[in-house]
Amino acid sequence: MSASVQVLDKSFVPFLDAETIDASIATLAAQIKADYGDKTPLFIAILNGSFMFSSDLFKKLDFPAEICFIKLASYKGTKSSGHVITAIGLDTVIKNRHVIILEDIVDTGKTLSAFLPEIEHQQPASLSICTLLHKPEAQVHPLDLKYIGITIPNKFVVGYGLDYDGFGRNLPEIYQLKD
Ligand code: 5GP
Ligand code: MG
Ligand code: MG
């Protein structure tokens, strides 16, 4: 992971290598097992960004667990109520399940803070968030992030599922926007 990469019109420098990402996910898997190993949790992975992370995390879980995948769509309200975030593809019954949301990155926290009430409305037995990356300096919407893989500075990153305008998701490691 020595060279910089070009994604569309921007240059990115190496930031988190495969070993670092893998070690962080192994730690998350162990923490989640300690808390949920006997609870048959339901993971809800938020597409597109979390597809690689959720796959690698799920492979490390050696206890019964389910996973489903959703996309979030935001709509401008016709009134001044702002954005409403709706899940597309949520076809699993959540009621009385121990739900763990899987996110690639929590930045401002806006997406999850708008989406969580929709899940809570369906009365899960418990609800927690697991994010691979967290940018605390950027967060403006408070969230209880139970599992955080790697805390990073407030700079744009790509790779390992995360995109820049749709590209760069296939990079196996994580790169940071060059200054
Ligand atoms: P939020 O600001 O609502 O916490 O972030 C919402 C989404 O924006 C994240 O789930 C992620 O998909 C995207 N995002 C936030 N920060 C970054 C970043 O540094 N790089 C990329 N590629 N996506 C980001
Ligand atoms: Mg995301
Ligand atoms: Mg994106």
Question: What is the mean predicted confidence (pLDDT) over 21-32?
Answer: 99
Asked, for residue 149, whether it belongs to a domain, the answer is yes
Average pLDDT value for residue range 127-143: 97
Is 25 inside a domain boundary? no
- Of 47, 42, 41, nearest in space to 88 by CA: 47
Bigger pLDDT: 114 or 1?
114
Q: Are 48 and 71 in contact (CB under 8 A)?
A: yes
Q: Region 141-158: what's the mean pLDDT?
A: 97
Does ligand 1 have an atom closer than 6 angstroms to the CB of 157? yes
Q: Flag whether 168 is in a domain.
A: yes
Average pLDDT over residues 138-155: 97
The H-or-E segment that residue 28 falls in is: helix 18-36
Residue 122 covered by a domain: yes
Is 90 part of a structural domain of the chain? yes
Provide the pLDDT for residue 163.
96
Mean pLDDT in residue range 114-137? 96
CATH number of domain containing 98: 3.40.50.2020
- Show Cβ contacts of residue 82 under 8 Å, excluding neighbours closer than 6 positions: 76
Question: Number of structural domains, the chain?
Answer: 1
For tokens 């597109």, the residue is 48
Residue 152 domain flag: yes
Cβ atoms 119, 127 nearer than 8 A: yes
β pairing state of 42-47 and 98-106:
parallel
CB distance 114 to 46 below 8 Å: no
- Residue 82 pLDDT more than 80? no
Q: What is the mean pLDDT of the chain?
A: 94
Measured CA to CA, the distance from residue 127 to residue 100 in angstroms comes to 6
- Bond prior to 96 in cis (omega within 30° of 0): no
Interatomic CA distance for residues 32 and 104, integer angstroms: 16
In tens, the pLDDT along 44-63 reads 999 999 999 999 999 999 99
pLDDT of res. 84:
66
Closest C-alpha residue for ligand 1 atom 20: 157
Q: Is residue 85 part of a domain?
A: yes
Of 44, 106, 107, best ligand 1 pocket probe by most atoms within 8 Å of the beta carbon: 107
Residue 45 is predicted with a pLDDT of: 97
Between the two ends of the chain, the Cα-to-Cα distance in Å is 18
User: pLDDT band at residue 80, thresholds of 50, 70 and 90?
Assistant: very low
Does residue 76 surpass a pLDDT of 70? no
Q: Which domain holds residue 45?
A: 38-177
CA of 104 to the centre of ligand 1 (A): 8
Atom of ligand 1 nearest to the CA of 113: 3
CA–CA separation, 170 and 178 (whole Å) = 19
Rounded to the nearest angstrom, the distance between the alpha carbon of 162 and the centre of ligand 1 is 8
The CA-based angle 158-26-34, given to 5 degrees, is: 130
Is residue 71 in some structural domain?
yes
